[in-house]
Structure 1
Amino acid sequence: MLPRLRNAEASDAAAIAALMLPESSSQGGSLHGDFPQEKICHWLTQALADGMPVVLAEDAAGLLGVLFTSSSRHQDSPVAVQMARLHHAAGPFYFYGPVCLAARARGQGLLSAMWQQLQQQLPGQQAVLFIHADNQASLKAHTRLGMVVETPFDLDGQPCVLLSSR
């Protein structure tokens, strides 16, 4: 039985930040390693204010995973600017990720369940994801979801890959 899936609220910020601490989680899609709690709270506030879903999975023991989205209007970071330049979507698109699963949630199909929930909430929009080129685990997981490699690119000397849901 799948855990409960729901959209995050502003009051969830502290629990989400704790889930994303390196000792308690498995992170995917990260370019810059561990996510500081302040950055997570900032992303959560931005996404919720913009009406973008942040999907949570939880069970009786607490959070199992979180899947962030952020609007293409968030052009305040070099990564967002470069992604918008590289991606030539035919229609509306949003930046997908980061994704974080608690260690106890691995192998339960949780990423797929959260992805499906998100696709239902943003029908007709393309998801765009960037990852390190050498992050094979994340690349495999997201190609299994149906995302395809759009283009490789370089960010601050690091080889990266841009994927989209087409």
Structure 2
Amino acid sequence: MNASEPDSVGEETEAIDADRARPTDVDDILAIQEENLIENGGSLSARFDRTWFESVIRGELLIVARVGEAVAGYAALTSQAAQAHIPIIQAMLRAHPDSRALLHGPICVASAFRRRGVARALLLAEREESDGASILAFIRADNAASRQSHVALGFREATEFEHAGASYIVVAG
């Protein structure tokens, strides 16, 4: 998928290409993940290792957005089994059980590419690949930008849950 979007003054921004990740993208994906983790000032709640990303590339769906040659962001769309070992996923599924739903996330955008349509391009590419399947995700309640992006693309805020002292919103689409 290729997307060019007008910026705040109506000019076209650099094209964003969103497509399936390749094994050679994993180093960039790990670097983007690191800057998005809560302990580094981001809002990503769980760290995934190289093996997990390589497995998702092989057997599930991992989308990367590229701006030029740079990996600008990534998003995973997986079965529940692929993330069932993660405590926050378990908490989300207790709050909003849907055994048929795919799990959207993690989704992360590199700091240099925020507010440029990267998250939107990733979400649209996931939607294209999902064949109309039900999709669930969680967002920290205080992450207004992510909540707005998801709602604008057809997700609905389904319920709220607490995990490790933080509030989260389950979005369903």
Q: Which residue does the alignment assign to 1:70? A: 78
- Please identify, of 92-101 and 79-88, the stretch whose mean Cα deviation from structure 2 is larger: 79-88
Greater RCO structure (CA 8 Å; 6+ sep): 1
Conserved? CA contact 2:95–2:160, under 8 Å: no
Once the two structures are TM-superposed, the CA of residue 57 in structure 1 deviates from its matched residue by 1.1
Q: Which of 56, 77, 93 pairs up with 1:47?
A: 56
Kindly tell me: are residues 118 and 27 of structure 1, through their superposed partners in 2, closer, same or farther at Cα, counting changes over 3 Å?
farther
2:45 counterpart letter in structure 1: L
Secondary structure in structure 1 of the residue aligned to 2:77 = strand
1:125 aligns with 2:138: no
Kindly tell me: are residues 160 and 62 of structure 1, through their superposed partners in 2, closer, same or farther at Cα, counting changes over 3 Å?
same
Once the two structures are TM-superposed, the CA of residue 26 in structure 1 deviates from its matched residue by 8.9
Give the Cα separation in 2 of the matches to 1:139 and 1:150: 12
With normalisation by structure 2, the TM-score equals 0.77
Kindly tell me: are residues 27 and 147 of structure 1, through their superposed partners in 2, closer, same or farther at Cα, counting changes over 3 Å?
farther
Once the two structures are TM-superposed, the CA of residue 92 in structure 1 deviates from its matched residue by 2.6
Once the two structures are TM-superposed, the CA of residue 152 in structure 1 deviates from its matched residue by 0.9
Secondary structure in structure 2 of the residue aligned to 1:13 = helix
Give the Cα separation in 2 of the matches to 1:9 and 1:43: 14
Q: Which residue does the alignment assign to 2:19? A: 6
Q: Which residue does the alignment assign to 1:98? A: 106
Conserved? CA contact 2:16–2:121, under 8 Å: no
Secondary structure in structure 1 of the residue aligned to 2:137 = strand
Secondary structure in structure 1 of the residue aligned to 2:148 = helix
Per-residue Cα deviation, 1:43-62 (whole angstroms, up to 9, x for no partner): 3133234x321111113341
Identity of aligned residues (%): 22
Kindly tell me: are residues 158 and 108 of structure 1, through their superposed partners in 2, closer, same or farther at Cα, counting changes over 3 Å?
closer
With normalisation by structure 1, the TM-score equals 0.80
Q: List 4+ stretches of structure 1 deviating above 4 A.
A: 25-28
1:86 aligns with 2:95: yes
Per-residue Cα deviation, 1:67-120 (whole angstroms, up to 9, x for no partner): 12232113112122222222243x731111122212332233222222111111
Conserved? CA contact 1:95–1:129, under 8 Å: yes
Conserved? CA contact 2:75–2:108, under 8 Å: yes
Per-residue Cα deviation, 1:2-23 (whole angstroms, up to 9, x for no partner): 3222211223211211223329
1:20 counterpart letter in structure 2: Q
Give the Cα separation in 2 of the matches to 1:40 and 1:27: 17
Once the two structures are TM-superposed, the CA of residue 27 in structure 1 deviates from its matched residue by 5.1
Give the Cα separation in 1 of the matches to 2:92 and 2:110: 27
2:172 counterpart letter in structure 1: S
Name stretches of at least 5 consecutive residues in structure 2 with no aligned partner: 5-14
